[in-house]
Amino acid sequence: MTNKLNHIAIIMDGNARWAAKRNLSTAHGHKQGAEAARKILIGCLKLSIPYLTLYTFSSENWNRNPKEISDLMDLLKFYLKNELSLLIKHNVKVKVIGDRSKLDLDTKTLIKHCEESTKSNNKLTLQIALSYGGREEIIAAQKKLFSDIISDKLKIENLDEEIFEKYLYTAGVPDPDLLIRTSGEQRISNFLLWQNAYTEFYFTKTLWPDFNLSHLKRAIKNYYNRERRYGL
C-alpha cells in the first residue's frame, strides 16, 4: 500500500494551557495559536502537502464561556480579512466545513467571500473545520441523502461508500493520511469520524502555539516510518 502523504489534519489543542503557563489571557493563547496555524500552512506549502484540515472550532465549543467564543470569532474574522491576500498569493483554496447556521451574518459573508476568491486555486486546499462535529456531519449527510431517495434522485440499492461521501462536508477531498493532535491529549474529539477510518494518528505533548515546522517534519517522518495496511 502507498504511504504517500497527501492530507494532514490537525487538532490544534493547548492554546489556553499555553496562555495559563505564562499568566496571559486565553485570548492571547488563541492569537498565538492562530499564528502557529499560519506558520504550519506555509510549512505545508513548502513541503508540497496538497491538503490541510485544521480543527478550528468544534460544535461542542459553543458551550464555552461567551467571552471566549466572542474572542475566537473576532480572531477568525480578523484572519479571514487580513490573510486573504496571502492565501491568493500562495495559490491556496479555502473550504470551510461545519454547521454555519450558528454563525453570525458577518462571519458567513467573510467565509463566502474567502471561498469564492480562492476557489480556482490549486496549490493547497485548506479546510477549516468551524462549528464542526463529526457526528453532526454524518447526520446532516443522511438527511440530504434520505431527501434524495424520497424524491427519487437516488436509488437506495445504488448507495455505497463513494456515493455517501459526496454528501459529507468534505466531498471532493481525500481522507486524511495523518492526524496530528497537540498538547498530549489522545482522542479525536468528534473530528472527521468517517474520514479517519484508516488515518494514522500522531500525538505530541507540544502545546499548539509552540508547534512549528520542526515539529511538523518530525510528525511526517514518523508517518513515513509506518506501514499502512488498510485492514489487510
Q: Please give the pLDDT value at position 2.
A: 60
CATH, residue 220: 3.40.1180.10
Compute, in degrees rounded to 10, the torsion defined by CA atoms 193, 194, 199, 202.
-10
Active site residue ranges: 13, 61
Tell which residue, 226, 224, 225, has the closest CA to residue 47: 224
Task: Give domain status of residue 140, yes or no.
Answer: no
Number of domains in the chain: 1
Mean pLDDT of 201-218: 98
pLDDT of residue 7: 98
Is 232 contained in some domain? Answer: no
Section 207-215 average pLDDT? 98
Question: Is 170 part of any domain?
Answer: no
Question: CA angle, 171 as apex, 204 and 162 as ends, to 5°?
Answer: 105
| Spatial CB neighbours of 72, under 8 Å, sequence gap ≥ 6 | 30, 57, 61
What domain range includes position 217? Answer: 7-134+175-224
**Residue 109 included in any domain:** yes
pTM value is 0.95
Q: Is residue 145 part of a domain?
A: no
Whether residue 151 is contained in a domain is answered as: no
Instruction: Quickly state the pLDDT bin for 148 (edges 50, 70, 90).
Output: very high
Residue 2 lies in a domain: no
The pLDDT score that the predictor gives to residue 17 is 97
192, with CB counted inside 10 A (0-12, 13-18, 19+), is: buried
Q: What percent of the chain has pLDDT over 70?
A: 98
Query: pLDDT digits over 158-189, tens only?
Result: 999 999 999 999 999 999 999 999 999 999 99
- Write the pLDDT tens digit of every residue in 19-70: 999 999 999 999 999 999 999 999 999 999 999 999 999 999 999 999 999 9
- The per-residue pLDDT for 228 is 78
Domain-located, residue 148: no
